[in-house]
Amino acid sequence: MKDYLQRAPFVRILLPLMAGILLSPHLPVVNSCLLPVLLLFTALGLILAERRKKNPGDLVPGFLFGLFFLLAGMASEKFRNREPDLVVGDTYMAILRETPIEKPGSFKAEARICSILQGDSVKNYRETILVYFSKTADVSQSRPGNRILFRRTPVNIENQGNPYEFNYKRFAALKGINRQVYLRETDFTDIGKSPEFSLFIFTEKIRENMLDIFLEKGITGTSFDLLSALTLGYRKTIDPEINRVFAATGATHVLSVSGLHVGILYIMVRAVFGFLRKRKRTTWLYVVLAFAVIWAFALITGFSPPVQRSALMFSLILIGENLRRPVNIYNTLAASACVILFFNPNLLYDIGFQLSYLALTGIVYFQPLMEGLFTFPNRIFRYAWSLFTVSFAAQLATFPLTCYYFHQFPLYFWLSGFVVVPLSFAFLFLGIALLTTSFLPVVPEILAQIALFLVKAMLWSLHLIERMPGALLQNFSFSVTTLLVTSGGIVCLVLFMETRNKKFLMFLTGLIAFGMLSSAYTRVSFNLHKEIIAYRAEQPLMHLIYGTRNYLLAPEKVLKEDYPEWQVNPVIRHYGLEKPALVAWEKDYADRILYKCGNAVVFDGISIWWSSKESGLILREPDVVVNTLPLSEAGFPFVKAVVVDYSRPSAKFHTEQVHNVFRQGARRIPIQ
């Protein structure tokens, strides 16, 4: 192991760097002012330790080396995530970073505030925000680089406050976005393009021009959405149903430009410009051209974390090849991760970043081992077996994280790989050919028709795989403990294969035993769990949980037409609940656990009363009151009751007895 780390020195740097990034938010005592001092003293100590005479088994230099990069990771995280100075002004000027995208109730775009008017003074300012334009606003001419003036003050991004929901506030903060603003038609003015140059906006405009070429050649609708995602990394218009199909078949990775696409581009570059490598005088030209093509592609496709990783990796491979140095793939992987994390430590929390590195590590390690299990004389069979082992190796390395984040696992991922991987190569080639020949007659139209046919063939194949029995395991609970146990098990298995040391098998056995006991304990505790949850929702929505059995109380229209899956499904997954019994507020219901008559509900001895304009039967002393009336009209004689308020909050009426879901989020009431 020691020899391996010496051959891959960047692995020794990466591990403490990641540890520092992870520890930094939990160590507020170590502030940004103290860290440079600690780094300086650690560096001096490391220099002195290297100069003095070393004794066998001396751990001081290694300790100081690891401590230095741990502190470097903490410093990088602290610098990146400094508390933003949120300035309030009278008028704001912002530059759009993208074309507004239509959402169900608005148009959404990222924008960067560049200046703020406060009284008679103008203050330069830098902050990226989310802008939501009303559906009545005319944003048809709004493009990246356009400046808008508005007077509404951006507000902090907040979560809905429902249990186990996606933490959108943290997700946005990790991207450097902390505020948002909603603008009606009369709230803003588009004053045209900004004279300021921005590389991000420049590349975004290039991508939009390329997308316009696809549209001009007759590629529209679903075909446009897929081709623009597969070639240019533009996913903003993809239909949710298409996303669902790709996720259910394990093919989501091709919808975002990733290492696969950069690898294909690298192969193309070698094929086209490879002749320049034959002479020493033109080798530098080959390197420059390859660098330019790879990084231009990375910028135009949105510079996502997997593309950053791939572009940096292939750049390092290019340098190694042309310096005639042997390339250690693990060292190259670690080096690219170190560079990326040093400049943007928040990417360590990015799902794409995590899955990208794990997938490639799994392919590099497991794929050669699996490919060597069988040999085929037929070239086609060899290619098919190689493709299968690549897919299997990537899934083996990533399945713990995939299950943890998405709570589903596609069983036929290996089958979809036979479809999407070859077609990804074809789509990238067709996309480049279509864009470069767009000025010619006939040729781009022929290429567009071929692309349309292949898109339809891909969708047909994936729909066929999705409809196969048992294609997708979904909505299962996968806790942090399960994630750690499965990941630890894979690491122990790898260490045993490398060292043949039986103690790693013992560790693996211990992990399996711990995982089984932990799972059994969790299952028992969940079976005994009883709780009432009043979700934050536009209409009264209550979840009554009794072990694995559960009931969903809501207006009949909500249950039939607008099922609240975003609020309910995270709780169902977390506790491993059965499919909920749907109980409409307008109808009566009765079984051995729940009794409902009119507006009165009794659940496991807890009485609930729904206060509304149609209230009929009134309970004298209910335990819980669900209110939908304005608080000034409601009045609550039930002093002991928990009041869950679904009326819009009013500053004129406030009491500690009342829990307003719009102001305070969901109300959870445990039942002993």
What are 219-251's pLDDT values in tens digits?
A: 888 888 888 888 888 888 888 888 888 888 888
Residue found under tokens 């060597």: 372
According to the model, what pLDDT value does residue 260 have?
Answer: 72
Residue 57 has pLDDT above 70, yes or no: no
Residue found under tokens 């440079």: 36
Q: Are 122 and 114 in contact (CB under 8 A)?
A: no
Choice between 36 and 147, residue whose per-residue pLDDT is larger: 147
Lowest mean pLDDT of 60-74, 258-272, 432-446, name the range.
258-272
Q: What is the mean pLDDT of the chain?
A: 86
What are 529-539's pLDDT values in tens digits?
A: 999 999 999 88
Residues 6+ apart with CB under 8 A from 538: none
According to the model, what pLDDT value does residue 646 have?
Answer: 87
**Using 50, 70 and 90 to split pLDDT, how confident is the model at 517?**
very high
- Do the strands 106-118 and 101-102 form a parallel or antiparallel pair, or are they unpaired? antiparallel
According to the model, what pLDDT value does residue 60 have?
Answer: 80
Choice between 60 and 509, residue whose per-residue pLDDT is larger: 509
Q: Are 352 and 305 in contact (CB under 8 A)?
A: yes
221-232 helix and 199-216 helix, angle to the nearest 10 degrees? 140
According to the model, what pLDDT value does residue 113 have?
Answer: 93
Q: What is the Cα Rg of the chain in Å? A: 29
According to the model, what pLDDT value does residue 631 have?
Answer: 64
In this prediction the pTM is: 0.86
According to the model, what pLDDT value does residue 636 have?
Answer: 54
Mean pLDDT score, 26-35: 76
Residue 2 has pLDDT above 60, yes or no: no
According to the model, what pLDDT value does residue 479 have?
Answer: 87
Provide the 3-class DSSP secondary structure of residue 647: coil
Phi, psi of 109 (to 5 degrees): -155, 150
According to the model, what pLDDT value does residue 86 have?
Answer: 74
Burial classification of residue 540, based on how many CB atoms lie within 10 Å of its CB (0-12 exposed, 13-18 middle, 19 or more buried): buried
Choice between 346 and 313, residue whose per-residue pLDDT is larger: 346
Burial classification of residue 36, based on how many CB atoms lie within 10 Å of its CB (0-12 exposed, 13-18 middle, 19 or more buried): exposed
Q: Are 616 and 599 in contact (CB under 8 A)?
A: yes
Cα 176–Cα 179–Cα 182 angle in degrees, nearest 5: 135
What are 554-610's pLDDT values in tens digits?
A: 999 999 888 898 899 999 999 999 999 999 988 999 999 999 988 889 999 899 888
Question: What CA–CA distance (Å, rounded) separates 231 from 216?
Answer: 16
**Using 50, 70 and 90 to split pLDDT, how confident is the model at 132?**
very high
Mean pLDDT score, 641-666: 76
Of 635, 638, 612, give the one whose Cα is nearest residue 623.
Answer: 638
**Using 50, 70 and 90 to split pLDDT, how confident is the model at 188?**
very high
Mean pLDDT score, 31-37: 79
% of the chain beyond a pLDDT of 70: 93
Residue 653 has pLDDT above 80, yes or no: no
Q: Are 181 and 150 in contact (CB under 8 A)?
A: yes
According to the model, what pLDDT value does residue 326 have?
Answer: 67
Of 670, 648, 642, 671, give the one whose Cα is nearest residue 660.
Answer: 648
Of 103, 156, 112, give the one whose Cα is nearest residue 132.
Answer: 103
According to the model, what pLDDT value does residue 598 have?
Answer: 86
Q: Are 27 and 74 in contact (CB under 8 A)?
A: yes
